A and B are shown apart, each in its own frame.
Chain A
């Protein structure tokens, strides 16, 4: 059937309150290591089929991610984020879909829900490039695990700076 919202209607159209799609919008985050202009990055983000997924437990597996994110569509690839030094999972990953619409549904319905009892966060990614699977923190993991003060059993305990004290 035809989509509602008046795509084919000449006398109508739609209403901006019904166009609202805040979960699928770009966030404020921009990758500082991105090679190219802001404009390039945003153009890629707007047509991307790849999501960054954060706040994973270090123990969450590719299989679990595949099962959860498979609920919004067929997954092309999952790339686990790794500690640069240890080469073990360090709590983030990339999920690439074949279709942008499936990634949008993940942003609408999987972002902000739980995986391994943790609220995970998804965001648009400009596309995987070799090297981006590694944490950028000084100790090898993610930056957020360098400085945090709290104890998180699923993410190696205390933050690295705290651990070194």
Chain B
């Protein structure tokens, strides 16, 4: 650690080493690097590194104070896993330079206000925690911190504000207590007691309708899925009972107590929480995911209990590490494994639990699903003797609890497990799961195994899957993904359209054009004779059948072959599928041909939407049609539906972006014109340019409105069909006196929840319509409950 001697940096200094123009940014980089790297593995102790760094920074303050302030504020916000390292550093700097300490605190408050203004609530929590730990470092006076917390807690008294707003301020207060509870209680016990009792009464009266929608399991055993504030409250209560003794957090400032207690403290300026506005978006409530306790690793160190504050701190820090390093999987794995306290806690179990917590988080994981698969593989590489076993144990536990696992989470489990196995030659002790073979195939466990094997096949090939499972599992093995061509066999020659199919086959093999195809198809009779308007372009299911069956069969060799076929005969498709019934029938025939190969169905549907052969509403109606009832609970169906919704959403965003860009171009043009007022020639030429742009904007505006309307319609169709399907089931059960809660029903109601959760931002726009049109009070309470849970998420 070199010391920069800025007293030497005068005009008479050593110019030969410095290139003055690039120096400032080089120095800033060096400072940032020094600050960020403190606390990493080093030959010296953390204390001596902190001492050294404090000295370097103190010397740099005269020239680089604002840069140092900026860097320190940024690490406070973005490296919360190293909170106490940096609070100690700030403490040491404050002890050496009181004014700097004051300026830092002011900068932090400014940064906190800004975060809250732009809805960066997760980062704001880190800032609050940092400020509270600064009390421990004698930078901030305890009473002023208590005063800030009093302002936070008083938010819970505000009227007509969303509960999620009050929740955040309560969370910011309670979650700082593991770090600073002891100190605050020692200095201001009466005030703290009052705050805690206000917290208790808030937590008692807040509504928790949303919890059911966010739980990974519906059962409370072996671990209850607690609402996050409830869990935190239990942890703080236990901490208080233990007289605020907290032993897990690393506190480097303790080693500097003699220096720090000499320092003068600053008072936090009075902090008024910014008011609620229409633009405020608060974090969604969460449920705490737990799958392990101390009984799961009897040989190793004891896992802190679910209501211990240690558990809270460990989980927070591990989540922060993933958030910091998600793009760098090797670094992320290494950082997770070098979390301090390794020998005192069963770290592998904590890591696996935190990763699954994120993977199964509802509505969505914080990061893309595939990241977690690859991260777990990296962890297995770094700890080959221990982590794979923990992972196997976790898999087994998740399997055991499938009966009560939320369907969306089961989807993610299926994706993760099959992808993971594909990296390890599909080795697994399938016989251990033979219990599922005796169950009804629609039950969660056999269903899970079936879906896993299907996904494993997609990543390899059919025979491989037959080879890797015991013979007894053949009932769960996926079908051989071959195409079913109804006109294939001579024995089918009595089928209507058989001869035309033969004709088509020959024509297509001979590179026929779209027109030739049309003329061959003209000869196909229409079973709906009366609907024929004479032009031959109305809905003719037989025409569609013959053409689509034949073409898909000829192009069955690969995805590319099928895509080429769709492209080459696009005109024929568009014409045959012009009507809504036409679109639906095309989808039906695709299914009939490829029902053994769900992956092919998915890519064909995707292509047909993108080339506008079918539209999103047609796909939605097809999924809810009676022909697909048999496959309704299969994973691939929901992959198709959600992919369809996503395409619709992306389409709307794309046109909207185009509109905004064109508007911006027009605005720039106006600006240019306004500044050239004296030049007539310019006026005329820009007038000419304006016209097209304004026309374009009008057209785009129409396009946006039409797309948004299509998007809304898609969601309404989906909700409507769900309501119809679920109501039918509920009525049937009621009149028949049978239990509503069948595997099908659980799957269906959770799929409805999934629509709300996965697309909640878009659906929020339709709340009034949904409330007035679809989710009215007359609806069965089972279905209405889902809507109410959704409303509760941002209430």
Chain B positions 27 through 71: 1 when the CB is less than 8 Å from some CB of chain A, otherwise 0 = 001001100100000000000000000000000000000000011
Chain B hits for A16, CB < 8 A: 29, 32-33, 36
Instruction: List the one stretch of B178-186, B419-427, B711-719 in contact with chain A.
Output: B419-427
Q: Say whether A15 contacts B74, CB under 8 Å.
A: yes
A4 to chain B, nearest CB (A): 6
In addition to A11-B107, A113-B377, 17 A-B residue pairs with Cβ atoms within 8 Å of each other are: A4-B123, A6-B74, A10-B114, A12-B73, A13-B74, A14-B78, A15-B36, A15-B71, A15-B75, A15-B79, A18-B324, A62-B559, A66-B603, A67-B459, A67-B599, A72-B368, A108-B329
Tell me if B36 and A17 are in contact (CB < 8 A).
Answer: yes
In the complex, whether B606 has a CB less than 8 A from a CB of chain A is yes
**In the complex, A165 has a CB within 8 A of chain B:** no
**Chain A residues in 8 Å Cβ range of B374:** 108-110, 113
Most chain A CB within 10 A, of B33, B325, B600, B603, is at: B603
Measured in the bound complex, the distance between the Cα atoms of B423 and A68 in whole Å is 11
Chain A 121-154 near chain B by CB (<8 Å), digits 1 or 0: 0000000000000000000000000000000000
Interface string of A1-44 (1 = CB under 8 A from B): 11011101111111111101111100000000000000000000
Q: Any chain B CB within 8 A of the CB of A163?
A: no
* A9 contacts B327, C-beta separation under 8 Å: no
Could you say which residues of chain A place their CB within 8 Å of the CB of B612?
none
* Residue among B33, B331, B460, B606 making CB contact with A64, cutoff 8 Å: B460
What are 10 A-B residue pairs whose CB atoms fall within 8 Å in the complex?
Answer: A1-B119, A2-B120, A4-B122, A6-B74, A6-B77, A16-B29, A64-B459, A64-B460, A71-B415, A105-B370
State A1–B560 Cα separation when bound (angstroms).
Answer: 38
Asked if B373 is at the interface (CB within 8 A of a chain A CB), the reply is: yes
Interface residues of B (CB under 8 A from A): 29, 32-33, 36, 70-71, 73-75, 77-79, 107, 110-111, 114-115, 118-120, 122-123, 281, 283, 323-325, 327-329, 331, 368-371, 373-374, 377, 415, 419, 422-423, 425, 455, 458-461, 558-560, 599-600, 603, 606, 643, 647
Contact, CB under 8 Å: B36 / A9: no
Q: Which residue of A lies closest to B119 (CB)?
A: A2
Q: Which residues on the B side are within 8 Å of A2 (C-beta)?
A: 118-120
Instruction: List the A side residues contacting B455 at CB < 8 Å.
Output: 67
Tell me whether chain B's interface is mostly helix, strand or loop, or mixed. helix
**Given A1-B119, A8-B118, A21-B327 in contact, is the A109-B78 Cβ separation under 8 Å?**
no
CA distance A13 to B114 in the complex (A): 12
Among A9, A20, A78, A113, the residue within 8 A (CB) of B114 is A9
Best-surrounded residue of A72, A79, A109 (most CB of chain B within 10 A): A109
On whether A105 and B368 interact (CB within 8 A), knowing A15-B78, A62-B560, the answer reads yes
Known: A11-B114, A113-B423, A114-B423. A78 touches B29 (CB 8 A): no
- Asked if A22 and B328 sit within 8 Å, CB to CB, the answer is yes
- With A and B bound together, what is the CA distance between A12 and B32 in angstroms? 13
> Given the interface contacts A17-B36, A24-B327, A115-B459, does A9 sit within 8 Å of B370 by beta carbon?
no
Q: Sort chain A's interface into a size bin.
A: 35 or more
Q: Are B78 and A18 in contact (CB under 8 A)?
A: yes
Q: Which residues does chain B contribute within 8 Å of A63, judged by CB atoms? A: 458, 558-559, 599-600
Q: Which residues on the B side are within 8 Å of A61 (C-beta)? A: 461, 558
Write the chain A residue with the least CB distance to B115.
A9
Closest 6 CB pairs of A and B: A67-B458, A71-B370, A109-B374, A114-B423, A109-B370, A8-B118
Please name the residue on chain B nearest to A67 by beta carbon: B458
Is A11's CB under 8 angstroms from B110's CB? yes
Report B-chain residues with C-beta under 8 Å of the C-beta of A22: 328
- Least CB distance from B459 to A in Å reads 6
A11 touches B78 (CB 8 A): no
Query: Which among A2, A5, A12 has the highest number of chain B CB atoms within 10 Å?
Result: A12
A67, B460: Cα distance in complex, Å = 10
Residues of B within 8 A of A67 (CB): 455, 458-459, 599
Q: CB-defined interface of A61-101 with B at 8 Å, one 1/0 digit per residue?
A: 11110111001101000111000000000000000000000
Task: Output the least CB separation between A80 and chain B (Å).
Answer: 8
Pairwise interchain contact A9-B78, C-beta atoms closer than 8 A: no
Most buried by A among B110, B122, B327: B327
A67 to chain B, nearest CB (A): 4
Q: How far is the CA of A61 from the CA of B123 in the complex (A)?
A: 45
Query: Closest CB-CB distance, B29 to chain A, in whole Å?
Result: 7
A116 touches B114 (CB 8 A): no
B328/A4 in contact, CB under 8 A: no
Q: How far is the CA of A12 from the CA of B458 in the complex (A)?
A: 46
> In the bound complex, what is the Cα–Cα distance between A66 and B369 (angstroms)?
17
Question: In the complex, A22→B332 CA distance in Å?
Answer: 13
B110 to chain A: which residues have CB within 8 Å?
A: 11
Q: Which residues of A contact B283 (CB under 8 A)?
A: 1
Q: Report yes or no: B327 in contact with A108, Cβ–Cβ below 8 A.
A: yes
Q: Give Cα A24–Cα B370 distance, bound, in whole angstroms.
A: 15
Option from A4, A74, A117 in Cβ contact (under 8 Å) with B425 = A117
Known: A11-B107, A66-B603. A5 touches B78 (CB 8 A): yes
Do the beta carbons of B422 and A114 come within 8 Å of each other? yes
Please indicate the chain B residues that have their CB under 8 angstroms from the CB of A114 in the complex.
422-423
B69 to chain A: closest CB distance in Å? 9
What residues on A are CB-neighbors of B29 within 8 Å?
16
Contact B599 A71 (CB under 8 A): no
- Give Cα distance in the complex from A11 to B560, angstroms: 51
Cα distance, A15 to B33, chains bound together (Å) = 9
The reply to whether A23 and B328 form a contact with Cβ atoms under 8 Å apart is yes
* A12-B77 in contact given A62-B559, A63-B458 (Cβ < 8 Å): yes
Residues of B within 8 A of A80 (CB): 560
Bound together, the chains give a CA A131 to CA B471 distance in angstroms of 46
Q: Does B327 contact A110, Cβ atoms closer than 8 Å?
A: no
Chain B contacts of A17 at CB under 8 A?
Answer: 36
User: Smallest CB–CB gap between A101 and chain B, Å?
Assistant: 10
Interchain CA distance A67-B599 in the complex, whole Å: 8
Known contacts being A21-B328, A62-B559, A113-B377, is A68 close to B368, with CB within 8 Å? no
* Residues of the B chain whose Cβ atoms lie less than 8 Å from the Cβ of A115: 422, 459
A20 to B647, CA, bound (A): 31
Scoring A18, A61, A78 by chain B CB atoms within 10 A of each residue's CB, the highest score goes to A18
B373 touches A109 (CB 8 A): yes
Distance, CA A64 to CA B419, complexed state (A):
12
